[in-house]
Structure formats: C-alpha cells, structure tokens
Amino acid sequence: MSVASYAYARPSELSGSGLDLQTSGGDAANPRFFEGFVTTPQPVALGLLAVADVARTRYYQPTARASLDPVVTGSRDMLRFESFSGCCGVYARMDVLPAGLDGRTPDHGTTNVDVNNPLRLSLARVAGLDPLHLAVGPDDLTVSTMDGTRVERKVPLPGRWLRGFAEVAVIASGMEPRASIGAAEAADFLRRLPNDRKVMWVVPAGRSLRLTSRPVAGAVCLSGGARLATLRGLLRHAKTLTVFGPPAGPASPPVASAWLLETPTVRLLLTLSPEVSRGFSGEGAVLNQLTGDQTTDDADLVSALLAWDPVIDVDGLTSACDLPADRVRAALTLLGTAGRVGFDVTEGAYFHRVMPFGTDAAARLNPRLAGARALIDAGAVRPFADRVEVDSGETTYQVRMADGRPAGCTCQWWGKYRGGRGPCKHQLAALISVGVLEEVAA
C-alpha cells in the first residue's frame, strides 16, 4: 500500500505585512492550528468516533481492522475530520461548525492521525456536560476528557486516500439535495434498512423515505444499506437527515449517494460508492478532466490565486484567471489529486485542505492516465474523422468519436463497464490526441 508522509507547521503566507515563511518548528515549540474546548462535547465525541469507525471498517470482504486513520483539517471557520473505509467504498466527514468551537479561530492546516482504543474509550465515555478539549497540530491530535489526556501522533497518509479525495470531489459536485427528513423519521428509516448488499433506491414518501427496487426520477441510490449504520450513534442529537444524489431516471445504473446528519454544532456526512464492491479510489471520475495539456499550467495559476477562505469561489477564480469555467474546474480536479481540494455537498462548493503534495503525482496515482500517455508517446494512436485507432499489445482498438469526445471502445473494459467506471486508457489516449490536434489547428 502506498503512503505519503508530510510534516510542517503551516503554509507560508504572503500578506500585507510581508512574507510569513514557515519552518518545521513554527512560532512555538508545539504549534497548533486549533486549540480549545468544544461547546457540545457529546455530539463531537460521537462524530469523531463515527469517522474513526469508518476508517477501521471494511464493508466489502471484511477482514481484520483496517489500519487507516482520520485526516483533520483546520479551515478558519470549522474543524473537519475525514476518513475512508478500509475498502474505500465509504467516505466519512464530520464538520465541527463555528458554534461548536470555543477557542481561537482555526488556522489552515492538515494532519493525519491514528485513533487508538484508549482514545476511543475516552470518547465513548463523554456524557452530558463533560468537557472535551482538542489541540490539533501538524504532528498530533491531543484530546482531553474527564478520563485524562490522549495524544494521537501523525501517521502516513494512504495513497488510495489521495485518489479517493479527488474522486469523491468530482462525484459529489454532480449531486443535489433530493430529500430531507426529521431525526425521528430518520431513526425509523435507518432501523428498517435491510442488512444486505443489494442496490436499492430511495424516494421521498410524505415526511419519510421509502425503498424501491427500481430507479425512478428523483430517486437516490442506496447500495448496501448497512453502511449507513454509523449514522445511528448521532441520531439523538440530530435535527435532520438530508439525502444527496445525481440526477436519476428509470434507466439509471447504480450511482453514489451522500447522507448528511445535522446537529446545531456538528455535521456528519457519509458518501457511499455505487456498489459495496466498488471503492472510490478506482471510479475514474477524474480522468476526463486530466487529459488537457494546459491543465497543469491552469492548476499552477489557480493554486497561486486561491484565497485561503473556507469556500473556494469558482466564479471569482474564473474571472481572476481569465479562463473558462470548465478549465478552472479541471484545474481544481487536478489539485484534488494532490488532496488539496475537496467538495462539500452541503455548501455546494469546493474547500481547501493544506497538503504539500504536487500535481505531478496525478498520472502515477491514476494508472489508466499513465497508460494513455504511454500509448501517445509510443505513437500508437491514429486519429481519423469519426474514430481513433489505438494499438495496444497485439490488438488495435477502435475508439468511436462523437462531437470530438470518445463515445465507446472495442476493448473489454468498455464492454464490461460501459463508462460506469470512467474511460478506458484507449479513450483517454484518443481524447489526448484529439486535444493536441485541436490546439495545433488553433
């Protein structure tokens, strides 16, 4: 399993007062990007336990506990705790909102920490008005409760999580809220979910939700309903459960969905892959946006212009960069492959993570993209008016083109998934080659 390690106090910042260049030590012996109490200890403790539970669970082919650990990000107005399940098919995020923090405003920063059993036990014992104090820095998460103080050290970030962060951001950006129900109705709905891996669909039914075996207009896909069990712990503190999904119709294949439980101070989000057997890291949703030769340069420009605000203003970036909106979004997708950009369905907007990774790892983390570029370099791609021929191994594949975009391929990948897992490497090679021809013609 590939991992990535990083260590720094906080990013360098150019402001009106000059350049604030950070080193490993920061301004203090133990720098922190947040330190303070939370105003609602029990919901925060339960939310952190939920995110940690997802990180240690494999929903597909369950084995021993997965050794994966939450990512913690300070974002000026909130703290974010994120994780993926061991099978990468569930993405969990808890946002501790401004009303939930009683301390200095969080600085920007990100770390990846373990949540071991002693801390889990301490969090599980938080009750009523028991105090809960958090101190988060680049190297550790320190949690103080009535049981004492627990320090969780930074651990390596799994390479699959970088791919997963990028994929979830692209997939979530196509979702919209489809239904919202109260906590009591949510508890009843979650209690009635079957404990299996079937692909079902959910539609609004009065004040609650109803399961159906077939997709209809406005339905939300629910694959493996047992994967939502993590929400139950926070239900007694919740106000609403909101369900998000992409547009669906009678012929829709299984798609991802997002389930948001809200309390006055905490938001707990679970995003489920289209099927239990599918992990987000292999969905391929980012690939079409990473083929342009100008995308790397666009990402460098966008990265330089990003204001460190909680929400990324795409319209403002489009104007400042003097680029079309689709190129700005492609640049954000490329930054997402470095873990530096996520998407929040609640706000309908992108957000920052502070990670020191560059965009040069995009091809390495996406083998189909690397394979497509290798085919281009080998001269194995021949564009024609209505198709692109791609020599791969001993076979020549035909990529059908429609309006300058790949519309199918004769390879087994396309025959099996029909675009449901993103483009194959032959389609990516065709897209890259056509893009190069269009730039030369221009």
The model's pLDDT over 86-125, given as tens digits with 9 standing for 90+, comes to 899 999 999 999 999 998 788 888 888 888 889 999 999 9
Q: Alpha carbon of 168 to those of 89, 148, 177, 243, 322: distances in Å? A: 10, 36, 16, 16, 27
Q: Tokens 């920007």 appear where?
A: 108
Q: Which stretch of DSSP H or E encloses residue 214?
A: none
**Cα dihedral sign, 294-297-303-306:** negative
Where does 173-294 have alpha helices with state H?
183-191
pLDDT of res. 282: 83
Name the pLDDT band for 68 (thresholds 50, 70, 90).
low
pLDDT of residue 325 exceeding 80, the answer is yes
What pLDDT was estimated at residue 308? 67
Question: What pTM does this model have?
Answer: 0.87
Parallel/antiparallel/unpaired status of strands 199-205 and 208-212: antiparallel
Cβ(211)–Cβ(222) under 8 Å? yes
What pLDDT score does 10 carry? Answer: 45
Q: Do domains 3-157 and 161-281 have the same CATH topology?
A: yes
At residue 359, the pLDDT reads 73
Would the pLDDT of 78 be above 60?
yes
Mention every residue, 6+ apart, whose C-beta is less than 8 A from residue 16: none
What residue segments make up the domains of the chain, in order of their start?
A: 3-157, 161-281, 366-442
From the list 5, 112, 119, the residue with the least C-alpha distance to 67 is: 112
Q: How confident is the model at residue 19 (pLDDT cuts 50, 70, 90)?
A: very low
Token pair, residue 4, equals 């990535």
Give the mean pLDDT of 25-54: 84
Q: Which pLDDT value is given to residue 303? A: 84
Using one digit for the tens of pLDDT, what is the confidence trace for 158-216?
888 888 999 999 999 999 999 999 999 999 999 999 888 899 999 999 999 999 999 99
pLDDT band at 350 (very low <50, low <70, confident <90, very high): very high
Q: What is 98-144 written as a DSSP string?
A: GGGEEESPPPSEEEEB---HHHHHHHHT--TT---EEEE-SSEEEEE
Per residue in 386-412, pLDDT (tens digit) is 899 999 989 999 999 998 889 999 999
Selected residue with higher pLDDT from 429 and 64 = 429
Band of pLDDT at residue 6, cut at 50, 70 and 90: very low
The CATH architecture that domain 3-157 belongs to is Roll (3.10)
CATH number belonging to domain 161-281: 3.10.150
Rounding to the nearest 10 degrees, give the CA dihedral for residues 117, 265, 261, 281: -60
Per-residue pLDDT, 293:
72
What rounded mean pLDDT belongs to the chain? 86
117-124 and 41-55 helices, crossing angle to 10°? 150
φ and ψ of 86, to 5 deg? -60, -30
- In sequence order, what are the beta bridge partners of 18? 15
pLDDT tier at 239 (50, 70, 90 boundaries)? very high
Residue 61 parent element (H or E): none
Higher pLDDT, 330 or 11: 330
Q: What are phi and psi of 112, to 5 degrees?
A: -125, 115
Q: Quick check: 442 pLDDT over 60?
A: no
Pick the residue with more confidence: 21 or 321? 321
